[in-house]
Structure 1
């Protein structure tokens, strides 16, 4: 069995010989293909034969694929060293080129959305095979599209309008410097460093970190509050006023290709189950030797006499592969391939981008995974998470690049499921004390990705209504405070300063209503995991089939074919039943 060593990835599969001349040649070829495709503009006709129409889609696929591979290379090169001038300038050049190619193909998109009558559209969709859902979805979006000149005006004004507001929010808040007293010493830090303090073992440090964060946002609430309200009004004016969406959240639902009713059901079930997390927080208070948690203490670590276990990289990779093999040897082989091809960048070094991600520039190429591995147990789970994304992509690798990506709410399915398999394997081998720590961290994580994210979305629904009827920053903060009190009930003491927390959440500014996708993806993975627990290995083929669909089917339809109805509360409740079992198990261990 091969030994896995920390190291850098190998990008040869994307670009073999990355010289200036090679890039010039590749870009020139893509450009000439795009020019050739543009020539069909005048002869486009709704009565086009289905064979010819499919050939046109294949041409777009070919241009998109080649463009994506070269774009993927530039982006991964930049990630491995963000300080390299050469990588930065290549990324800028390729991004600009990609956007130019996209604009050149735009006419076909608009023709399909706007100029093909319903009868011909139905005929072409019927014979389009794997492209059917992609084409149907584009027609659905057409209902909310404006004319080409209007779309161009919006695109142009967005750069200096709403995009500029988001950039401004980022510029202002990223420049904040926080002064916080730790162990009697004043320290100056950025947000990233400050965030680590909310997980400190010391209650005073946790409180000081939050207070420092909020005091900065409080100083500037007039400006950031104004920015947020204008982002919300822009979302409403364009989405509802001009495009005709029925509500602010519908704009996001339609771009996620899920029905309003599905999202509504999901959020209702999340709201109803907030008691599960409340019980856990009461339990956590006891473990920390407190009568009641304050909101400052939510992410406090457990008091533990055991030293945190360190995992060697080789051992970590093997744990991930073995936990997958127990469920499905096919998926374990997919994952093994990512390591064999040296598509993982795991070593920490200066200039490398922080965090972790999985990137699939083309379905025909084995995905690339970036992690910053330090040997902590959370790094092993991060590895399992990103490898889960890779498995999802490989499962759908026979699909066209136009339809291989699952829609956003389904995108976290395989990553979360892989973490569950790893947890299942590890919990059999660790001591009772380690299991308690792992279980507690896991429930913390469920709260952060399901409970918190769904209540974020419930807050946004209210805030968007409130801002439409003109309001003040303080009134928005009151609404947010109510949301927190409803979420925690009597289990956590929430102080007034948390009212302004909404202004610190970048997602609200960058992508309204994005957050429910986390709750969706995690609960979906938990429900699938529950099925695996009932059905055993026989569930693996059903699971692989769900992954292999990529983006070729609407989430409701895809899951219904596997006997799951995500429009019904019962489905989402399965995920919460699992969390409830975990909370009970922790209670027994204590």
Structure 2
């Protein structure tokens, strides 16, 4: 039986109130103190065996620190309104900053103090850690002195990290009062998001207006938080570290070329019309002349009653879909449930949305979802379990390279959604298939085109804020972005101008959003390879996942004939999307 519930964090740490938790911290601090003693051994001529002994110490520290940090973070995510969880997260974040400062000397030595000849000698036998060491050398030109790095690490805890936490605390405390059938109801954001997919056009509009109204009434403080986060990104990244542009900071961190990202965004912008025919079709199916922005995610089949899925049935569907492609991957996903590493309940204070957290390659990942029983929730479950599958496929990698860079991080999650759709679409009558395919295209729009335009907005917003701007001007820029994206295909209302403040990624992880576009289009390409090659593709796919972050994305994918710097590659993904729109219209 699969039942909704809370996750267990016992594998990460003892109860934070217990003496054993304090001992975990003490043991970690002792290891850090011991590590500091190796500073005198860091010479350019250090023997390889000594060098890799140090690397193994770093892996050990990363494992221990990640378990404590993961525990605090996941505890906070399960109840963001808990003062106790908030205090613990602050305490562990501060500890993490202190550890980073105390071990920083090795990082800076490798980046700045060892000559190229000896660096090449030591990297010769690095194996899967080669990319980790190479990438650090690449980052050398953006590194500062040890005292400067320590100051930044220390101030981040009460600076940008604190601002992000403040944004979360404010927005997760929002309560949304909405009138349904004459009765006032108090909803969470997750519950409100279900209503934007309602068959009732008035309810869809009210749901959006309730959400946007809540953020609009708090736009002063939320806008101030965002502007300061952007300025912090600029001051540290551009002014101090000398990166060439705000998005380049993310690109280099992702180990992906600026050209690749720009090509992706250019092709997305060029293909925005791919969805116009879909929006027109959807408007007709809803009996409208033109879609309003409120109707973007409305079910397109008016006569089709949306199916509800029990949590157990949803779980079995996702596991079966994975199993049809690869029993190995299905077993990986099932571990999340068997080890109670999933939090699926909807409750006040719990973080909105969904995520998968890989604390260590040695542990089964943790998954958070807010499961409400709709088909979109089933696909969200497949998405997050795809992340968990990816992590476990890469579990043989060192913790230093097990995590795939952001552009590849969304690949397995999206691929799992495609497998789910492929599995259930064959079991449906045309009416239901049309509804699910329409919803699938909705999701492709949301995770490809919408995310690309989010990133385009961020590029503009960061420039605007650097030049000095107001919250109203930012909102005008966002509306201009929406008009470029939709042209005349839908009706836009002015209340969507503040929507940018509702997007947590803008605050949490600047320029993260293009990873969704990247991962989804890449997954569409991989899925087409699977359809051509059949079961033999399983081996190739698992090899790509198993690489984790041990290879640069361009290098890894080129081994399988995929050139992500080519506009043609990204265009192939849009050609697939266009074919899906045509299939939907033919069904109807």
The normalised TM-score by structure 1 is 0.89
**What CA distance in whole angstroms lies between the structure 1 residues aligned with 2:295 and 2:533?**
39
> Could you tell me which residue of structure 2 aligns to residue 146 of structure 1?
144
**What is the match of residue 274 of structure 1?**
272
Deviation at 1:589, TM superposition (A): 1.5
Alignment of 1:154-553 (within 5 A): 154-159=152-157, 161-163=159-161, 166=164, 194-214=192-212, 224-225=222-223, 227-346=225-344, 355-553=353-551
Change (3 A) 1:30 1:162: closer
Match in the other structure for 1:48: 46
Preserved contact between residue 252 and residue 514 of structure 1 (Cα < 8 Å): yes
Provide the C-alpha distance between the structure 1 equivalents of 2:222 and 2:81, rounded to a whole number of angstroms: 30
Is the 8 Å Cα contact of residues 222 and 473 (structure 1) preserved in structure 2?
yes
After TM superposition, give the deviation of residue 164 of structure 1 in Å: 5.3
Cα offset, 1:428, TM superposition: 0.5
Work out whether 1:555 is the aligned partner of 2:553: yes
Write out per-residue CA displacement over residues 528-565 of structure 1, whole angstroms, 9 at most, x where no aligned residue.
Answer: 11111122112111111100001101111111111111
Judge conservation of contact 1:50–1:128 (CA < 8 Å) in 2: no
SS at match of 1:143: helix
Aligned to 1:39: 37
Deviates more, 1:14-23 or 1:503-512: 14-23
Q: CA distance change for structure 1 residues 175 and 349 in 2, over 3 Å: closer, same or farther?
A: closer
Q: Kindly indicate whether the alpha-carbon contact (under 8 Å) linking 1:261 and 1:567 is maintained by their aligned counterparts in 2.
A: yes
Alignment check: 8 A CA contact 2:285 2:302 kept: no
Cα 1:218/1:547, change in 2 over 3 Å: closer
CA distance in 2, matches of 1:221, 1:8: 33
Number of matched residues? Answer: 588
> Unaligned regions of 5+ residues in structure 1, if any?
none
SS across alignment from 2:356: strand
CA distance in 2, matches of 1:434, 1:376: 14
Deviation, 1:493, is 1.6
Q: 1:353 to 1:230 in 2, by over 3 A?
A: closer
- 2-structure distance, mates of 1:546, 1:259: 19
Deviations 1:361-410 (A, max 9, x none): 22122333344445433333233222211211111111111111111111
Task: Output the CA distance in 1 between the equivalents of 2:78 and 2:220.
Answer: 39
Contact 1:361 1:367 in 2 (8 A): yes
Residue 111 of structure 2 is aligned to residue 113 of structure 1: yes
Between the aligned partners of 1:508 and 1:346, the Cα distance in structure 2 is: 25
Unaligned 5+ segments in structure 2 are: none
Report the Cα distance in structure 2 between the residues aligned to 1:390 and 1:555, rounded to whole angstroms. 19
